[in-house]
A and B are shown apart, each in its own frame.
Chain A
Amino acid sequence: EPEVTQTPSHQVTQMGQEVILRCVPISNHLYFYWYRQILGQKVEFLVSFYNNEISEKSEIFDDQFSVERPDGSNFTLKIRSTKLEDSAMYFCASRLRTGAGRTEAFFGQGTRLTVV
C-alpha cells in the first residue's frame, strides 16, 4: 500500500541551527502539507503546497519556515534558525486532489524535532 515516508524519524538540533525535514509523498498525489504537533497539544496546520507553490499557510509559518519540492519526489520543510518552541512532531501529508472532494489525506509517521 502506498504511503508517505518521512526522514529522519528523530532530529536533535541546537537552537539557532537550520534543519531540513524530508518527506516523500505518495507518487501520484498533487497536494502536499506540513502539520506540526507540540507534545500534548493538537495537530496544527502549517502550510499547503500545490503546483510548485504555497497555496495556504498559517500564522505559525513565518519567515523562518520554507518549503520546497526540489526534484518531483521529495517535499521538504526548512527551518532556518530553530527556536526551543519549534520542538514538536512534524507531519507531512499528501492528497490526490483538494477542494470539496472527499479525498483522503495520508499522513507520514512524523519527524520528532527536538531543539536544545
Chain B
Amino acid sequence: KNQVEQSPQSLIILEGKNCTLQCNYTVSPFSNLRWYKQDTGRGPVSLTIMTFSENTKSNGRYTATLDADTKQSSLHITASQLSDSASYICVVSAEVGNKLTFGTGTRLQVTL
C-alpha cells in the first residue's frame, strides 16, 4: 500500500531561523514527489516537484531534496517568516494511475 509519512508532526520556530521537514515514502513505482503548503482552511499550493533524477530543487527560501534510493525527501526553509506558518505536505505520485498520495503534513508555526 502506498504510504507517505512525515516528521515532525508539528514544529515551532522563531522568525528568521531555518528548519528542515522530513518525508519518507513507499510509493511504487515512483514518478514524482511534491511539497505543498496548505494554509488553514485553504487548498494546497505547490512549492516544488521533483522526479527520481533530481536531487534538489529550490523555490525561493524553500529547498527540497530527494533521495530516491532511500525513498526520503526533505524540505528546508531558510530565514523563516511569520507567513511561513502553515502545514507542509509531502505528496507522492506513482507512475501508474492518476492519484496523489498525501502525507499527514507537518504543522509549522513561526513566532516572534
A113 at interface by CB-CB < 8 Å: no
Q: What residues on B are CB-neighbors of A43 within 8 Å? A: 44, 89, 102
Binds B, one of A11-19, A66-74, A75-83, A100-108: A100-108
Q: Which residue of B lies closest to A43 (CB)?
A: B102
A87 at interface by CB-CB < 8 Å: no
Instruction: Count A-B contacts at CB 8 Å.
Output: 59
A65 at interface by CB-CB < 8 Å: no
What's the interface size class on B, roughly? 20 to 34
CA distance A38 to B37 in the complex (A): 17
Which positions in B face A, CB cutoff 8 Å? 31-32, 34, 41-46, 49, 51, 89, 95, 97-105
Give 11 pairs: A residue, B residue, CB < 8 Å, sorted on A. Answer: A4-B43, A31-B98, A35-B100, A43-B44, A45-B99, A50-B98, A58-B99, A100-B51, A105-B46, A107-B43, A110-B43
